[in-house]
Chain A
Amino acid sequence: MSKSDSGDSKRQRRVGRLAAIMCAMLVLGLAVTGCAAKTGTDGAVSGDEIIIGTALCQTGIQAPLDEPQLRGVQLAVDELNANGGILGKQVKLVALDGKSDPVTVGNVAKQLVDDGAAAIITPSDFDFGGPASREAQKAGLVGISPAASSPLYGSAALGDLQFTMSMWNTTMGAVSAEYAYNTLGYRSVYVITDDFIDYTKSLSKYFIVRFKELGGTVVFEDTYTQGQADVSAQLARIKALPEKPDFIYISSYMPDLGLMIRTLRESGITQPVIGGDAYDDPALWGALGAQYGSDVYYDTHCFFSNEANPGYDKWLASYQDKYGKDPETPMIMIGYDAMMVLAQSMDKAGTTEGAAVAKVMETTEYNLFTGKLKWSDAASGHEPNKAAAMVQLEAGTPKFLGWFIPEKIPAP
């Protein structure tokens, strides 16, 4: 009886000691993470490195957009560090996987804040990037999405420290509408909208608004859903039209975009096809090939040539040096630019403190690879004023037509 008693008490003591040790570790841990978080939110210029966090989605359905952006960000960080970093400090990139799940993206952003990130680079869509921007906003940090083109992405919906690098769909839709009406002289259009995500729906919406404003006619507004892998219904309707439209506007993205355009062409629909930045994809050009890859126009963020983006060859060389292959999407360049915008703004603000950096971002005109960029102030939504690169496909090869700023941008 007594033996077991003493055994029990010994065990209790041992448990007690263990608990004490664990408590001590916990307190220590808290203190450490607390410190780390402090350097981040303070924007303190103490410590010898600046942490930039990315919540980009490296896996899942967003990965085709976000993963190349991360490559661009890494390239920019390497370049910055080789040239003295930001504010004289080395940049440390912490890339956590948002996994194409809005809840995970939010949690990952929270983790980045705790890790002491000075700014957060967020996924490229309002639905996926929004949660990361909201966490950044809560922590008083600048959040920037390289390619979210929804007009919702800005200060109005997400907070006064939140930005997107991409032209909004208002601009993207307007540029292609004006090019079709003014330059190509087209007057009627058949619109097919992929209703799977916000991007494709809002792009069509602003294209139609601007095209009608100019005096064009929308023959029919058709829909398609990504993943259906069949356009026979849309095809039958186009064929049944009594009067053929001047061109077809398709707002969708790969992989189904290739199937849609191919099917139309195979069935003898020869009208030009026009669309947005999702067309800027070598997989699409290859899928259309020399046979079907003509009479296709789109507006996008940049064009991989010295003519469109001075200094491109140097950038290309450093990209090839790091990754051993050619860049396959503008998403890489826009990711690179997002990191450079953060670096320039922090240098100019003299601090990494969110409000000060955001102030600089609102008042500076940036000269970037992906064109000139000037954000409006927080009161008007941080609307990015950016030129769009208009591109034409000829036998599967893209040809740069020039930079365009719309005469009039539809209200978001």
Chain B
Amino acid sequence: MMNLEFMINTISLGSLYALLSLGLVLVFGILKLVNFAYGEYLMIGGYGLYFSATVLHAPWWAMVVFGILAAILTSYLSELAAFRPVRNKSANALLVTSFAVSIFLQNAVLILVSPRARAVPLPPIFSQTVNIYGAVTPVRNLLIIGTTISVLILLSLLMKKTVLGLAMRAASDKFTTTRLMGVPANLVISAAFVISGLLAGISSIFWIGRSASVDPVTGAAPLLIAFIATVVGGMHSPAGAVVGGFVYGLLFNVLSITLPASMISYRDAFMFVIVVLFLLIRPEGIIKGGYTEERVG
């Protein structure tokens, strides 16, 4: 039964990582910006959950809505206030700006709330476990799988069936040409940030759901995971991000099980070695996607 437990763990972990990576890749596709403030959207989403539960005493569905909205709003506002003014500058300017946004948000929370972790009261379903043919697993793990499947379906419908989706796909392929066709740049970029924030918000619920607490540096680990997963999967297509997320989850769990206890501290080192190998041998990632170098400006 270890195998079934392993499979559920791997698929649920992969689902979470796929959502995380997808949010990072959507913005990268259009702006060619690796947004290092992405983890902070997730962190703010967590504080959204915390405040709606402790201050507003909101029911669980309102908590979820509030947390996701907090992440979306933060993402959108950071685009408006920080990224838009430097959009036509160098790629480095954008990158440094994303670090600035990250540091700003972390310290804002540290000063305004507390440097200490806060407990996030979760809906009871997040603390329940089920027994599937002998494999004990938290219900949360099944929820994340279901959520990820729905999000992926909705997102691909949006991308394939709507004008906005078409514009976004076109923009991530050839941005200048797309603009020449009359697609407003601000709209497409804002939309990318909003969806990125939405994905951060949804991931936030499940990420926070594991520890039931949030602190100012909650966003660091998920950002790193999303970054590695997209490098492995491919930075140039949403499909690559999803594949990367699942591959990362699988590698992580396989290493966890197979590495001897004395080596477990080096699990991250093994992960990084794999990333370096990918960069050397297949820099475009598992899924190649529209591999272009053009960026806005």
**Interface positions of B from 75 to 126, Cβ below 8 Å from A:** 107, 110, 114-122
Q: Are A63 and B110 in contact (CB under 8 A)?
A: yes
Q: Are B119 and A233 in contact (CB under 8 A)?
A: no
Tell me the bound Cα distance from A255 to B218 in angstroms: 8
Q: Which of B13, B137, B220 contacts A227, CB < 8 Å? A: B220
- Asked, given contacts A259-B211, A266-B129, A268-B129, whether A283 binds B256 with beta carbons under 8 Å apart, the answer is no
B294 contacts partner chain A, Cβ-Cβ < 8 Å = no
Q: Which of A237, A259, A287, A329 contacts B116, CB < 8 Å? A: A329
**Interface positions of B from 252 to 270, Cβ below 8 Å from A:** 252-253, 256-257, 259, 261-262, 264-265, 267-268
Q: Are A287 and B261 in contact (CB under 8 A)?
A: no
Tell me the bound Cα distance from A13 to B71 in angstroms: 62
Tell me the bound Cα distance from A59 to B215 in angstroms: 13
The stretch among A3-11, A75-83, A218-226 that forms the contact with chain B is A218-226
Query: How many residues of B are counted as interface, with CB atoms below 8 angstroms from the partner's CB atoms?
Result: 40
Q: Are A287 and B259 in contact (CB under 8 A)?
A: no
B190 contacts partner chain A, Cβ-Cβ < 8 Å = no
Tell me the bound Cα distance from A225 to B218 in angstroms: 15
Tell me the bound Cα distance from A222 to B263 in angstroms: 10
Interface flags for B187-228 (1: CB within 8 Å of A; 0: not) read 000000000000000000000001111110110110000000
Q: How far is the CB of B34 from chain A (nearest CB, A)?
A: 20
Tell me the bound Cα distance from A225 to B138 in angstroms: 23
Q: Which residue of B lies closest to A331 (CB)?
A: B116
Query: How many residues of A are counted as interface, with CB atoms below 8 angstroms from the partner's CB atoms?
Result: 46
Q: How far is the CB of B224 from chain A (nearest CB, A)?
A: 9
Q: Are A229 and B257 in contact (CB under 8 A)?
A: no
Interface flags for A192-228 (1: CB within 8 Å of B; 0: not) read 0001000000000000000000000000111111011
Q: Are A227 and B261 in contact (CB under 8 A)?
A: no
B150 contacts partner chain A, Cβ-Cβ < 8 Å = no
Q: Are A258 and B107 in contact (CB under 8 A)?
A: no
A262 contacts partner chain B, Cβ-Cβ < 8 Å = yes
- Asked, given contacts A59-B115, A233-B257, whether A255 binds B213 with beta carbons under 8 Å apart, the answer is yes
Tell me the bound Cα distance from A282 to B13 in angstroms: 28
Chain B CB within 10 Å — which of A64, A263, A285 has the most? Answer: A64
B186 contacts partner chain A, Cβ-Cβ < 8 Å = no
Chain A residues within 8 Å of B252, by CB: 230
Chain B residues within 8 Å of A64, by CB: 114-117, 215
Tell me the bound Cα distance from A268 to B131 in angstroms: 10
Chain B residues within 8 Å of A259, by CB: 210-211, 213
Tell me the bound Cα distance from A229 to B222 in angstroms: 9
- Asked, given contacts A223-B264, A232-B9, A256-B211, whether A284 binds B119 with beta carbons under 8 Å apart, the answer is yes
Interface flags for A46-60 (1: CB within 8 Å of B; 0: not) read 000000000000010
Using CB atoms and an 8 Å cutoff, list the residues of chain B in contact with chain A: 2, 9, 13, 107, 110, 114-122, 127, 129, 136-138, 210-215, 217-218, 220-221, 252-253, 256-257, 259, 261-262, 264-265, 267-268
12 chain-A/chain-B pairs, Cβ below 8 angstroms: A64-B115, A220-B261, A223-B261, A225-B268, A230-B256, A254-B116, A254-B215, A259-B210, A267-B137, A281-B116, A287-B120, A287-B213
Using CB atoms and an 8 Å cutoff, list the residues of chain A in contact with chain B: 59, 61, 63-64, 67-68, 195, 220-225, 227-230, 232-234, 236-237, 239, 254-256, 258-259, 262-263, 266-268, 281-289, 291-292, 328-329
Additional A-B contacts beyond A266-B127, A287-B212, A329-B116 (10; CB < 8 A): A63-B110, A233-B256, A236-B256, A255-B117, A262-B211, A266-B129, A267-B137, A283-B118, A283-B119, A284-B117
